[in-house]
A and B are shown apart, each in its own frame.
Chain A
Amino acid sequence: MNIHNEINSDIKFLAKSEIRLKILSELYDRPNSIHGLVKRTNINYSSVSSNISKLEQNNHIRKIKHKYHINPMTKIYFKTLIDFKNTVDIINDYNEFWDKHNLDQLSIDSIKNITDLKESTLVETTPIDIYKTHNTIKNELLQSMSIKAIFPYLHPDYPQIIESVLENNGKIELVIPKSIYSAIITQIDMKLRRESSKNGRLKIYPVNNDLKIYLTICDGSMSLGLFKNDDSFDQNRILVSNDEKSHKWAENLFKAIKEDVMK
């Protein structure tokens, strides 16, 4: 095993104690005294004080005029540790979404930046609204002027959605399996399709490879759907988000998958 493939003892030292992590997260935001920390965290004086000494001994914090300051290097270490914590939170918060699903087409980069999705919402169908996931995406698509999408299967609504966006002078970029290519394009008005392709507003990339991911990027939102491990698409859940970070995350993933399946 590679030498740096092991958790180093500093990580262990920090991760071992919730109290130390809490103290560091307070000092990360602003310097504080022991009394101030006791007040902010509700942790008792002796615990705060003994952990402060341990942090000081290990060179993570330093006292300047009654107040403890986090050292700049520890600030970076702590940041990366909290990033890992946020990752674990995202995995747990959307457990139903990831668990027993196929993640093969998520790029390693997109997995490493998965905390960018922390503002997302998990949309699930309900017995009284079994098309909730599809309808959520459909509404976003119809209102969008620019769409990038990976459609791994054909839904009968897609041709009309594409037509409607193109009629409104919108722009569409699609990655789809070769097997559904003709079924989609023959249902779009021929004149509109030719014109849009000619002026670059409609770009369709049919690919030979299996697509095991569903991704849409609209003007202000993104949505992500996965296949289950048994190879069926999970129509009951999607992750949607309308913040900038998720949008960027989705753009990068779209680019990575496009490059990967088209090589």
Chain B
Amino acid sequence: MTSVQTKTELTEEYKNVKYILTSSMRTKLLLAVYESSKNLEDLRTELKKPSATILHGLKELENINLVKKTQKYYELTSNGFLLTTNMIKLIENWFSINKNKKFWNDHDLSDIPEDMLKSMYLLKEAEYENSTTSDLSNAFNKYIKLLSKSTELKIILPIYSENHFKHIIELLNESKVKNLELLVNDKILSSIKSNDDLNKNLMKNKKVKVKCSENNLKLFLTCSDNFMSLSLFFKDGLYDDSQILIGKDKNAMKWALNLFKFFSD
């Protein structure tokens, strides 16, 4: 038998989360009054439920100090505002993960720090591109096209790819890219150094800052002034050049920059 004490402890630990998240009525009411304060009539129209059901839900939320009533209008309390803002974050986190589920599910995510996993909602506008049997380099071509419109670049580069280097150097030489920060591991760094062409155009280029990371990072991240992109490794340790996650909005770029800073600082 599970002891009474264990049961009580468990119930206590998850009580609030369970109470909020398992009732559609309560969560819908919180979301409805998050937008603006509303009266019973507004809520009845919006949620399409009878008054009794809505009033019952509101009473429950008033009892735990998440909602208050001021002159016939229901609004969130301070606590309710903190909680609902974070409930929306939770919903958006799940939405964002599910939207690109195949991309996340196919790859090794062990190098993505926990704090970044908690803010997946920032990637809700991002989409992933696939290479297909009829267009094997779709992902790469999309990437190069975006790269050519960038002026500032921060890249975590976990692979030694002459093809990528060729395009980056071209952009530097045409003065399209003004600043490039490159984070690589020691193996890739020594490969760059031992190639005359790369050594000259990257290591000795004033526009380029190359940093060596102790970690053997399994992520290819690009933060540009107008997009972010991420490609990952398969779970068997091989790099996947066929899928790339691309985000062009402010939030996605913020997520990528945080990730870059996490490893470069």
Chain A contact residues, CB within 8 Å of chain B: 1, 4-8, 10-12, 15-16, 18-19, 21-22, 41-44, 47, 72-73, 75-77, 79-81, 83-85, 87-89, 91-92, 95, 98-103, 108, 111-114, 229
CA A75 – CA B87 in complex, angstroms?
A: 18
Identify which of B6, B14, B81, B105 contacts A85 (C-beta below 8 A).
Answer: B14
Interface of chain A: mostly helix, strand, loop or mixed: helix
* A72/B105 in contact, CB under 8 A: yes
CA A41 – CA B3 in complex, angstroms?
A: 11
* A10/B94 in contact, CB under 8 A: yes
Shortest CB-to-CB span from B190 to chain A, Å, is 32
Query: Is B1 located at the chain interface by the 8 A CB criterion?
Result: yes
Q: Which residues of A contact B259 (CB under 8 A)?
A: none
* A72/B109 in contact, CB under 8 A: yes
Query: Is B21 located at the chain interface by the 8 A CB criterion?
Result: yes
Give the one of B21, B46, B97, B119 with max A CB within 10 A.
B21
Q: Name which residue of chain B comes closest to A97, CB basis.
A: B78
Identify which of A7, A44, A47, A99 contacts B21 (C-beta below 8 A).
Answer: A7
* B86/A84 in contact, CB under 8 A: yes
Q: Which residues of A contact B49 (CB under 8 A)?
A: none
Q: Which residues of B contact A88 (CB under 8 A)?
A: 16-17, 20, 83, 86
Q: Which residues of B contact A18 (CB under 8 A)?
A: 10-11, 13-14, 18
Q: Please, how many residues of chain B have a CB less than 8 angstroms from a CB on the other chain? A: 50
Identify which of B46, B90, B117 contacts A84 (C-beta below 8 A).
Answer: B90
Shortest CB-to-CB span from A243 to chain B, Å, is 14
Q: What are 27 residue pairs bridging A and B, where the CB atoms are less than 8 Å apart in the complex? A: A6-B91, A7-B24, A10-B94, A11-B91, A11-B94, A15-B14, A15-B18, A15-B21, A18-B10, A18-B18, A21-B17, A42-B3, A44-B1, A72-B105, A73-B101, A79-B118, A80-B90, A84-B87, A84-B90, A85-B16, A87-B83, A98-B79, A99-B65, A99-B77, A100-B77, A102-B78, A112-B85
Shortest CB-to-CB span from B10 to chain A, Å, is 4
* B82/A81 in contact, CB under 8 A: no
Q: Name which residue of chain B comes closest to A41, CB basis.
A: B6
CA A21 – CA B3 in complex, angstroms?
A: 18
Chain B contacts with A in 91-107, Cβ cutoff 8 A: 91-95, 97-98, 101, 104-105
Query: Is B72 located at the chain interface by the 8 A CB criterion?
Result: no
* Contact A11:B21 (CB < 8 A) given known A47-B2, A76-B97, A76-B109: yes
Q: Which of B26-34, B162-170, B218-226 contacts A (4 or more CB under 8 A)?
A: B26-34
Query: Is B38 located at the chain interface by the 8 A CB criterion?
Result: no
* B28/A6 in contact, CB under 8 A: yes
Chain B contacts with A in 43-94, Cβ cutoff 8 A: 46, 65, 77-79, 81-83, 85-94
Q: Which residues of B contact A75 (CB under 8 A)?
A: 109
* B27/A8 in contact, CB under 8 A: no
Shortest CB-to-CB span from A245 to chain B, Å, is 9
* B90/A43 in contact, CB under 8 A: no
CA A208 – CA B45 in complex, angstroms?
A: 41
Query: Is B114 located at the chain interface by the 8 A CB criterion?
Result: yes
Q: Which residues of A contact B104 (CB under 8 A)?
A: 72-73, 76
CA A114 – CA B88 in complex, angstroms?
A: 14
Shortest CB-to-CB span from B44 to chain A, Å, is 14
* A98/B10 in contact, CB under 8 A: no
* A84/B17 in contact, CB under 8 A: yes
Q: Which residues of B contact A83 (CB under 8 A)?
A: 90, 118
Query: Is B120 located at the chain interface by the 8 A CB criterion?
Result: yes
* Contact A79:B117 (CB < 8 A) given known A84-B87, A91-B83, A111-B82: yes
Query: Is B22 located at the chain interface by the 8 A CB criterion?
Result: yes
Give the one of B81, B91, B92, B105 with max A CB within 10 A.
B91
Q: Which residues of B contact A12 (CB under 8 A)?
A: 21-22
CA A253 – CA B1 in complex, angstroms?
A: 49
Give the one of B13, B31, B86 with max A CB within 10 A.
B86
Q: Which residues of A contact B1 (CB under 8 A)?
A: 44
* A81/B90 in contact, CB under 8 A: yes
Q: Name which residue of chain A comes closest to B20, CB basis.
A: A88
Besides A43-B2, A72-B105, A112-B119, 10 more A-B contacts (Cβ < 8 Å) are: A1-B32, A6-B24, A11-B94, A12-B21, A18-B14, A43-B10, A47-B2, A84-B86, A85-B16, A87-B86
* B78/A103 in contact, CB under 8 A: yes
Q: Name which residue of chain A comes closest to B16, CB basis.
A: A88
Identify which of B27, B79, B87, B118 contacts A99 (C-beta below 8 A).
Answer: B79
* Contact A21:B14 (CB < 8 A) given known A1-B32, A42-B2: yes
Q: Name which residue of chain A comes closest to B17, CB basis.
A: A85
Q: Which residues of A contact B21 (CB under 8 A)?
A: 7, 11-12, 15, 84
Shortest CB-to-CB span from A98 to chain B, Å, is 5
Q: Which residues of A contact B87 (CB under 8 A)?
A: 7, 84
